[in-house]
Amino acid sequence: MTFVETMALPNAVRLIDDYHLDRPGVIGTYVLLGDEPALIDPGPTTVLPHLEMGLQALGLTLDDIRAVLLSHIHLDHAGATGTIVARNPHVKVYVHQRGAPHIVAPERLLRSAARLYQDMMDYLWGEFCAVPQDNVVPLSGGEMVQLGSRKLQVYDAPGHASHHVVYFEEASGAAFIGDNGGVCLPGSSHSRPATPPPDIDVEAWVQTLNMVLDLQPKWLLLTHFGAMDNPARYIDDYRTRLLQWADIVQNGMQSGADEAAQIAQLQARADADLGASADSELGVRYQQAISLEQTWQGLVRYWQKRAEREHAAGNQDLI
């Protein structure tokens, strides 16, 4: 239960396996070493003991951390942030300006999450403590985050969420892309779309993937899970799969099939992608990283919102 020593990573970057629900290779936190150590996506509060053990193996504690960089504010990425700041008030929290108000006053965020996770909230994520306003550095894209001698460029990166950013370190070629690269777990080369409600935007997502490609990164660093050293091939594969899954959900909606049948169609695609591993521990970990039901729900909401926009635009043309 420590940092991942077997995976190739950019220089002065380490990956801590957060052992979410005591399973390896589901949620990871990146540690940026150097004179101002930082965390990228610390995970939920439930994994904090594992995160601390990983830091200890690197000769660090939470007291040494100077910054937390959030790709976005979903609980599996950002849930422990407020607890970390409470223990180390010197930590600065970098987060998209759309997400910033919801880590300062998280009530709306938690109500939204509770609709998805219901009575599993505490078990999965634990407590979500508010982050003091003075610790928050809101981002909109275009900023440079300076961590001692280390520099990371910030890019607005909607798709998985409207409040998503990508951090790019030109010196190492590392692009920290959060969930905009979906899920690709150890033991598999299979990428799976991560499309939970409420604000999936497939068109914006494709633009974000193209933007990341234009940066010509040497590494893609996913929260779920690890570093990909073949960015162009990975993004091409992921873009194709995202569009395929979106089409499967749209076709299911248009077919008139009930919800269970539509989810079963998507499950069949997911099982075919995983092949013989679908019913294995790897399949369980994929489901833990991104629920098929939530994947379907997010894409249904996307298509519904898109239809509403197109209907409104059509009515406007008639005026």
Whether residue 1 is contained in a domain is answered as no
- C-alpha distances in Å from residue 282, one per residue of 7, 174, 237, 287: 18, 26, 20, 9
The residue ranges of the chain whose pLDDT is under 70 are 1-6, 276, 278-279, 313-319
Q: Note down the domain range covering 216.
A: 13-242
Whether residue 249 is contained in a domain is answered as no
Whether residue 91 is contained in a domain is answered as yes
pLDDT on residue 275:
81
Whether residue 257 is contained in a domain is answered as no
From CA 82, how far away is CA 36, in angstroms rounded? 19
Of the candidates 197, 289, 302, the one whose C-alpha atom is nearest the C-alpha of residue 243 is 302
pLDDT on residue 176:
98
Domains held by the chain: number: 1
Model-level pTM? 0.93
- Dihedral pair phi/psi, residue 96, rounded to 5°: -55, 145
Whether residue 107 is contained in a domain is answered as yes
From CA 160, how far away is CA 139, in angstroms rounded? 17
pLDDT on residue 82:
97
| List of E strands, the chain | 13-17, 28-32, 38-40, 67-69, 92-96, 136-139, 144-147, 150-156, 165-169, 174-178, 219-222, 226-228
CATH number, residue 48:
3.60.15.10
pLDDT on residue 274:
85
pLDDT on residue 190:
84
165-178 per-position pLDDT tens digit? 999 999 999 999 99
pLDDT on residue 250:
97
Whether residue 187 is contained in a domain is answered as yes
